[in-house]
């Protein structure tokens, strides 16, 4: 089965909101064996919506739409669908009860435009939206299924999980789709491709390898589908293990997880605590870490020491070190890491000091110069990085490099 996702709304096309619905829906569909052929975003314009529907039904047999179902005049999806399928309208009594209950529960007055949300194209199957007032509408035409849902994420997610996916799974015999992801770091995409070229060339036709690069990281994803779940898993896992063995020094995780989660898992499994000392990253490393649920089991916290004065007060960096070598130096970043370890009483600490830009560069230390250090007890290792002249990318690259360096040092210590 092939699906296409259509998101409707001017707010998406002008960048006022980010379309997170499509990514979430695509992931859920893939997990049940439905491949997404295309994702399309269209404006709140009837002709544009109809053009998108005509094009989509040539590519897919399941078309999922979100957006444009609100009670105001700019919400035209329902009217457009009635026109597209040449249907009149009926007032769905169950939907009306749902809308009335919604307003009564919240003790809010109900207007006629709210009651009109119970008006649906008379040839559709209505699926009740228990989290909102806009009903979900299911149409079937010429062997193609069309489903229109509210664009509010939590409403759409409820409908997909509780109503749409169960109906699709019971209706069709769907194949098993399996993905195996390997997270690597400290190796570029081109070098990685060169290292694993022989393995990639040996893959059977039904197993696909994708490279998913991110600043400082590359995920390798093996994908296959079939009716025999055990066989599909066995084959993909076999080739995944070959890839892992080939590039073992660069492998962070054999799972589709972010770098920071892999680090936290490693720390927790070994009963270790760590802290951060950040300058040019301004707390971004701590932000990445604390986004992961359960991070407090291993992460004690850190210091954002942007100024030289705070480097001295919070981390104990020597004034003489700053005077002689500057804030962006091997000597300073080592003292930052050691100071964090000692003052925050952790097993490990990672410290970052650099010039994020766009200004602040100097002879011998251009924008993008970053020093990173990792301390373990009274031992400390530092490394110089030269990233570039873009501030946000420098911050993100610094964070990725710091997390990778910390992960690598912990693994190294554990093998001793």
Q: Quick: pLDDT tens for 122-163.
A: 999 999 998 888 999 999 999 999 999 999 999 999 999 999
- What's the rounded Cα separation, in Å, for the pair 196 and 214? 18
User: What 8-state DSSP symbol labels residue 174?
Assistant: P
pLDDT value at position 368? 97
Q: Between 102 and 411, where is the model more confident? A: 411
Nearest to 151 by CA among 50, 57, 16: 16
Is 74 a residue whose pLDDT tops 90?
A: no
pLDDT value at position 107? 86
* Other beta carbons less than 10 A from residue 232's beta carbon: 20
Nearest to 118 by CA among 129, 107, 108, 105: 129
pLDDT value at position 407? 97
**Pair of tokens at residue 38:** 């295309």
- For residue range 330-372, list pLDDT tens digits in order: 999 999 999 999 999 999 999 999 999 999 999 999 999 999 9
Q: Is 300 exposed, middle or buried (0-12, 13-18, 19+ CB in 10 A)?
A: middle
- For residue range 96-128, list pLDDT tens digits in order: 998 898 888 888 888 888 899 999 999 999 999
**Pair of tokens at residue 390:** 């873009």
Tell me what the pLDDT averaged over the chain comes to.
95
Q: What value does the mean pLDDT take over residues 54-79?
A: 94
- For residue range 15-51, list pLDDT tens digits in order: 999 999 999 999 999 999 999 999 999 999 999 999 9
Query: Domain ranges in the chain?
Result: 2-171, 176-253, 259-415
- What's the rounded Cα separation, in Å, for the pair 206 and 161? 29
pLDDT value at position 398? 97
Point out the least confidently predicted range of 72-76, 85-89, 196-200.
Answer: 72-76
Is 416 a residue whose pLDDT tops 90?
A: no
pLDDT value at position 35? 93
Residues constituting the chain? 416
Nearest to 247 by CA among 207, 197, 203, 291: 197
Report the run of H or E that residue 389 belongs to, with start and end: none
User: What 8-state DSSP symbol labels residue 41?
Assistant: E
Q: Is 358 exposed, middle or buried (0-12, 13-18, 19+ CB in 10 A)?
A: exposed
CA 224 to mean position of chain CA atoms: 22
- What's the rounded Cα separation, in Å, for the pair 239 and 200? 9
Is 73 a residue whose pLDDT tops 90?
A: no
Confidence of residue 72 (pLDDT cuts 50, 70, 90): confident
**Fold of the domain built from segment(s) 2-171:** Molybdenum Cofactor Biosythetic Enzyme; Chain A (3.40.980)
Report the run of H or E that residue 98 belongs to, with start and end: helix 93-105
**Fold of the domain built from segment(s) 259-415:** Maf protein (3.90.950)
Nearest to 251 by CA among 181, 178, 352, 203: 181
- For residue range 257-295, list pLDDT tens digits in order: 999 999 999 999 999 999 999 999 999 999 999 999 999
Would you say 352 and 281 are in contact if contact means Cβ atoms under 8 Å apart? yes
Is 224 a residue whose pLDDT tops 90?
A: yes
Report the run of H or E that residue 138 belongs to, with start and end: strand 136-141
CA distances from 319 to 167, 312, 352 (A): 68, 7, 18
Q: By percentage, how much of the chain surpasses pLDDT 90?
A: 90
Q: Is the pTM of this model over 0.85?
A: no
Would you say 118 and 95 are in contact if contact means Cβ atoms under 8 Å apart? yes
Q: Domain 176-253 maps to which CATH number in 1.20.120.160, 3.40.50.150, 3.30.70.2860, 3.40.1390.20?
A: 3.30.70.2860
pLDDT value at position 111? 87
Is 213 a residue whose pLDDT tops 90?
A: yes
pLDDT value at position 365? 96
Q: What value does the mean pLDDT take over residues 2-15?
A: 95
Is 200 a residue whose pLDDT tops 90?
A: yes
Q: What value does the mean pLDDT take over residues 309-326?
A: 98
């Amino acid at each position: 089965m092939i699906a296409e996702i259509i998101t409707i709304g001017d707010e998406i096309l002008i960048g006022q909101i980010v379309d997170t619905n499509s990514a979430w829906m695509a992931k859920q569909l893939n997990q049940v064996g439905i491949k997404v052929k295309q994702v399309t975003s269209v404006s709140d314009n009837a002709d544009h919506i109809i053009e998108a529907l005509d094009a989509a039904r040539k590519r897919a047999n399941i078309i999922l739409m979100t957006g444009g179902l609100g009670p105001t005049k700019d919400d035209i999806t329902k009217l457009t669908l009635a026109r597209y399928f040449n249907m009149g309208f009926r007032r769905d009594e169950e939907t009306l009860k749902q809308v009335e209950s919604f307003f009564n529960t919240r003790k809010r007055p109900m207007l006629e435009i709210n009651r009109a949300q119970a008006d649906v194209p008379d040839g559709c199957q209505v699926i009740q939206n228990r989290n909102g007032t806009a009903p979900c509408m299911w149409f079937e035409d010429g062997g193609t299924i069309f489903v229109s849902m509210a664009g509010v994420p939590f409403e759409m997610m409820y409908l997909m999980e509780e109503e749409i996916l169960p109906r699709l799974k019971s209706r069709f015999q769907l194949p098993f789709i399996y993905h195996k992801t390997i997270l690597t770091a400290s190796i570029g995409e081109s070098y990685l491709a060169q290292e694993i070229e022989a393995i990639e060339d040996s893959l059977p036709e039904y197993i696909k390898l994708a490279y998913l690069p991110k600043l400082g990281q590359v995920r390798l994803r093996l994908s296959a589908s079939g009716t025999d779940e055990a066989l599909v898993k066995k084959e993909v896992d076999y080739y995944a293990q070959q890839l892992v063995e080939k590039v073992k020094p660069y492998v962070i995780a054999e799972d589709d997880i972010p770098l920071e989660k892999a680090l936290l898992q490693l720390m927790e499994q070994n009963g270790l605590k760590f802290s951060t000392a950040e300058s040019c990253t301004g707390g971004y490393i701590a932000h990445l870490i604390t986004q992961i649920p359960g991070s407090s089991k291993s992460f004690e916290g850190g210091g954002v020491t942007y100024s030289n004065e705070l480097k001295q007060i919070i981390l104990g960096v020597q004034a003489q070190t700053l005077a002689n070598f500057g804030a962006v130096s091997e000597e300073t970043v080592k003292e930052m890491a050691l100071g964090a370890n000692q003052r925050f009483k952790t097993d490990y600490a990672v410290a970052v000091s650099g010039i994020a830009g766009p200004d602040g560069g100097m002879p011998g230390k251009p924008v993008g110069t970053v020093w990173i250090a990792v301390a373990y007890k009274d031992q400390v290792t530092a490394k110089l990085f030269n990233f570039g002249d873009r501030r946000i990318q420098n911050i993100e690259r610094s964070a990725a490099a710091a997390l990778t360096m910390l992960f690598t040092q912990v693994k190294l210590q554990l093998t001793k």
